Amino acid sequence: MTKNVTNFLSPEERRERRMILLLLAPALAVVGLLLIGPLIWMGWQSFQGPDGFTLDHYARFLSDTVYLSSFVQTFRIAFVVTIAALLLGYPIAYVAAKSQGIWPPIILGMVLLPFWTSVLVRAYAWLILLQRRGLVNTMLIETGVIDKPLILVNNEFGTVMATLHILLPFMVLPLYATMKKIPAELEMAGASLGGGGWLVFRSVFLPLSLPGVIAGSVLVFVLTLGFYITPELLGGGRTFLVSMLVSRNIELYNEWGAASSISMVLLLLVFLIFRLASMLIPFERIMGTR
């Protein structure tokens, strides 16, 4: 398709294309040098053993149960975080999209607030809130809701909680953008035709907001798959995610080949998820450029 189009380009358009390419060159060089290069190197590493080429690193996916359980746990947490982000984010986006005047920026600002502090600080903040003698437990005990502290961190719950907090904006923003584009007349039309609030929401608004749901879900899911600091700090060793599997292989065993192979598999799975999602909605919409 592109080839055919190029044939019809006038000299001016060709010059414009060359100009655009020239302007893009620095960015392309950076991406090539710092992203594509290391990726190729990583791919090459994943096939390297002490005696040259090997498939051993990939074979371990079948033999080592730690690998499998780590992937399963990572996907389970990503799934839980995505669902929770959707349940929390949809009403927030809905209210922001439906409110008037100064309210949308205020609501979205509050959603974006976590972006202004470092992930590390937020992880420690959650640790302080959720630990055994933390704010939440102390409050619950003193108000008599519970007798002994709940275990809120150093497990999957703590990991999910903090990850959710950090990734919620990635759910809310695509949802908000999609909802904003749903014309208000559609709901007015639904009402004028006899549809009550719930029917109009269920049969008109909700289906039209689905692209936002998919976009937000894919973003949150994929980002959770690669999360490292938060599960490391709040998982307390009980959550052993893929990212930690990679880091252990390097830190403890100096196994760059194994670490590379795990990264490659995770990368491949992420590509697969994007591919599946883009069959439902265009890729540009997931990334929020359209």
Partner 1 sequence: MNSPLHPQKVGVSIRNAVKRYGTFKALDDVSLDVAPGEFLSVLGPSGSGKTTLLGLLGGFVQPTSGSIHLGATDITYTPPHLRGIGIVFQNYALFPHMTVGENITFPLRARRLPKAEWPAKLQAALEMVELSGYADRAISALSGGQRQRVALARAMIFEPRLILMDEPLSALDKQLRENMQLELKQLHAKLGATIIYVTHDQREALTMSDRIAVMKSGGLVQVDTPKQLHDRPKDSFVASFIGEAMLLPVQRLDAGNLTLAGQTLRSAHPLPSSDDLFLTVHSEKLAFAGPQTAPESNLLPGTVNSCLYQGESVRIFVTLSGGEQVSLRLPSNHSGWQMMPEAGQPVTLALHPEDTIVVPRAA
**Which residues contact partner 1 by CB under 8 A?**
183, 185-186, 188-196, 199-200, 203-204, 207-208
User: Which of residues 75 and 94 has its CB atom nearest to partner 1 in the complex?
Assistant: 94
In the complex with partner 1, the residue whose CB is nearer, 120 or 206, is: 206
Instruction: Give min distance, CB of 189 to partner 1, in A.
Output: 4
Identify which of residues 94 and 124 has a Cβ nearer to partner 1 in the complex: 94
Q: How far is the CB of 176 from partner 1 (least distance, A)?
A: 19
Give whichever of 119 and 204 is closer to partner 1, judged by the CB atom: 204
Write down the least CB distance from residue 75 to partner 1, Å.
30
At residue 48, the 3 state secondary structure works out as: strand
The percent helix, strand, coil of the chain (3-state, each to 5) is 80, 0, 20
Q: Which is nearer to partner 1, 209 or 249 (CB)?
A: 209
Q: Which of 201, 261, 208 is nearest to 46 (CA)?
A: 261
- Would the CA dihedral through 41, 223, 216, 103 be positive or negative? negative
Least distance between partner 1 and beta carbon 194 (Å) = 4
At 180 the three-state DSSP class reads helix
CB of 108 to partner 1, least distance (A): 26
Alpha helices in 115-193 (DSSP H): 119-130, 135-142, 156-180, 184-192
DSSP state of 218: H
Is residue 239 within 8 Å of residue 72, measured between CB atoms? no
Complex with partner 1: residue 204 or 267, whichever CB lies closer? 204
Looking at this protein, which amino acid is placed at residue 144? G
* AA letter at 80: V
Nearer to partner 1 (CB atom), residue 104 or residue 195: 195
| Shortest distance (Å) from residue 203 CB to partner 1 | 8
Comparing CB distances to partner 1, the nearer of 59 and 188 is: 188
Residue 188: which residues within 8 A CB-CB, separation 6 or more? none
d(C-alpha 13, C-alpha 18), whole Å:
9
User: Cβ 282 to partner 1, closest distance in Å?
Assistant: 15
Task: Show the CA angle centred on residue 221, arms to residues 215 and 227, nearest 5°.
Answer: 135
Closest contact distance (angstroms) between CB of 187 and partner 1 is 9
Dihedral sign computed on CA atoms, order 40, 46, 49, 55: negative
Using CA atoms, how far residue 202 sits from 141, 174, 190, 205, 212, in Å, is 41, 19, 11, 6, 15
